Structure 1
């Protein structure tokens, strides 16, 4: 299916050059494998890599002043976003809207690996527990 959602002539480059940054060291251990601030590469999103092998474990309850999108790469997770409880598996994504406290945990069995996309050029967070 061919797509033509906009006229390419209507968007002009803004002068930024392509950039690359390191999100994580593939050999690193621990659940927080790394983060890449959008501002480091001239982008509008900050990306985090998170993973753990222990069911029931996950990041603590926290909140951001911007949206966060979670992409489950491997495993299964239970997300607590405001009053909602959402289960997601590999290949699924969950939205945490700005201002809603959230956390998630590994449902097991095995490894949970997520890519967490912060809709901000820098990581801003307040822990609530």
Structure 2
């Protein structure tokens, strides 16, 4: 068995970010395909599971707990469960990255 989710059926926000929640397809992961303008990014939040970011293009400042780190194309960053985190596109172009959630649906609490 396999599933193909055409682009026209993917949940896309006004800023072009796509959300995929794997539970309905029998997979234990969910993800965001980020496509953020300069200055965009989510507010501080936590998840009860780890999150993995893969930066495909652009650059961002990541806040992880009390630390701030820069991420750029090719970097993989892993955040522990229950760790407050956020990121913002600090570059001059678009930030494209995959945010992998170790859950069949996204569980997110804003802090």
**Which one of 31, 49, 64 corresponds to residue 81 of structure 1?**
64
Report the Cα distance in structure 2 between the residues aligned to 1:74 and 1:25, rounded to whole angstroms: 24
C-alpha displacement at 1:57, in angstroms? 2.4
Q: TM-score, normalised by structure 2?
A: 0.87
Tell me, yes or no, if structure 1 residue 111 matches structure 2 residue 94. Answer: yes
Q: Deviations over 1:46-71 (max 9, x none)?
A: 011112222x3211111000000011
Q: Hey, what does 1:48 align to over in structure 2? A: 32
The answer to whether the Cα contact below 8 Å between 2:54 and 2:76 also exists between their aligned partners in 1 is yes
Structure 2 spans left out of the alignment, 5+ residues = none
Q: TM-score, normalised by structure 1?
A: 0.76
Relative contact order (C-alpha < 8 Å, sep 6+): which is higher? Answer: 2
C-alpha displacement at 1:32, in angstroms? 5.0
The answer to whether the Cα contact below 8 Å between 1:48 and 1:116 also exists between their aligned partners in 2 is yes
Report the Cα distance in structure 1 between the residues aligned to 2:55 and 2:68, rounded to whole angstroms: 15
**Number of residues paired by the alignment?**
110
Q: Hey, what does 2:22 align to over in structure 1? A: 38
C-alpha displacement at 1:25, in angstroms? 6.8
| Residues 99/29 of structure 1: CA separation in 2 closer, same or farther (3 Å cut) | closer
Q: Hey, what does 1:101 align to over in structure 2? A: 84
